[in-house]
């Protein structure tokens, strides 16, 4: 079972309480769902990670942390899921969000006069300023499309994990039933 495999990588309650930095937040980090791998906690963690992954800037993990703790979903899963946005995927995701927003606003099919953004890896500070200017130039469709895409991805992720978990459990039950019947 995958849960047993991943469980050995997760910290225990005792290790969190005894950790020098994390122990101070024991009241917030002590809820079992933040660390246990169960169907609802993992599905919620994936949903929050997918939602938070589209938060602009380097605030994705902070957003996932701030959402996962009060909603009591698996914290490591939420944090790791935000990593689907990276320098390779962020531009296609933002373009998808822009088109999604344009579709929702009824502006799809119109000619857009926004030039493509090109990353200059030798000058990251200038590239970040150019990325901000590019995002502002995209305007209303991007402002509507980002939250819409975030909610859509979160919902899809939640239901896919729930379905996959259910299929895996039913497969394990059938295998156990076959094993008992055969032996």
Question: What digits encode the pLDDT tens for the residues 12-57?
Answer: 656 666 665 555 556 566 677 777 888 999 999 999 999 999 988 7
Examine the pLDDT at 165 and tell me if it is beyond 80. yes
Check residue 10 and give its pLDDT: 62
pLDDT, averaged across the chain: 82
Residue pair 5/168 in contact (Cβ under 8 Å)? The answer is no
Check residue 47 and give its pLDDT: 97
Examine the pLDDT at 150 and tell me if it is beyond 90. yes
- Tokens (6 digits) for 86: 């990276």
The whole-number average pLDDT for the span 57-71 is: 89
Q: What is the pLDDT of residues 85-103, one digit of tens each?
A: 988 898 899 889 988 998 9
Structural element, H or E, at residue 127? helix 124-182
Check residue 100 and give its pLDDT: 93
Check residue 110 and give its pLDDT: 61
Residue pair 90/54 in contact (Cβ under 8 Å)? The answer is no
Q: Other C-beta atoms within 10 Å of 138: how many?
A: 20
Check residue 57 and give its pLDDT: 76
Examine the pLDDT at 136 and tell me if it is beyond 80. no
More confident residue, 127 or 176: 176
150/119 Cα distance (integer angstroms): 23
What global pTM score does this model have? 0.74
Q: Which residue has the tokens 């950790």?
A: 19
Nearest to 89 by CA among 164, 149, 151: 149
User: What CA–CA distances, in Å, run from 70 to 124, 142, 153, 183?
Assistant: 35, 28, 20, 47
The count of residues in the chain is 183
Residue 68 pLDDT grade (very low, low, confident, very high; cuts 50, 70, 90) = very high
Residue pair 70/48 in contact (Cβ under 8 Å)? The answer is no
Residue pair 37/168 in contact (Cβ under 8 Å)? The answer is no
* Percentage of residues of the chain with pLDDT beyond 90: 42
- Within 8 A by CB and 6+ apart from 100, the residues are 145, 148, 149, 152
Check residue 106 and give its pLDDT: 85
CA dihedral of residues 128, 134, 137, 142 (deg, nearest 10):
-90
More confident residue, 88 or 182: 88
Check residue 40 and give its pLDDT: 92
């Amino acid at each position: 079972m995958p849960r047993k495999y991943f469980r050995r990588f997760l910290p225990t309650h005792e290790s969190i309480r005894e950790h020098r930095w994390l122990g101070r937040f024991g009241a917030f980090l002590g809820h079992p769902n933040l660390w246990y791998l169960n169907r609802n906690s993992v599905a919620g963690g994936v949903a929050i990670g997918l939602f938070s992954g589209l938060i602009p800037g380097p605030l994705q993990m902070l957003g996932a942390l701030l959402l996962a703790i009060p909603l009591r979903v698996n914290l490591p899963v939420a944090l790791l899921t935000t990593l689907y946005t990276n320098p390779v995927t962020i531009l296609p995701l933002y373009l998808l969000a822009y088109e999604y927003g344009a579709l929702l606003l009824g502006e799809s099919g119109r000619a857009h006069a926004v030039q493509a953004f090109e990353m200059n890896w030798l000058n990251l500070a200038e590239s970040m300023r150019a990325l901000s200017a590019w995002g502002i130039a995209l305007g209303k469709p991007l402002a509507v499309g980002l939250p819409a895409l975030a909610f859509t991805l979160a919902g899809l992720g939640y239901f896919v994990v729930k379905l996959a978990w259910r299929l895996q459990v039913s497969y394990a039950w059938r295998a156990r039933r076959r094993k008992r019947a055969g032996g």
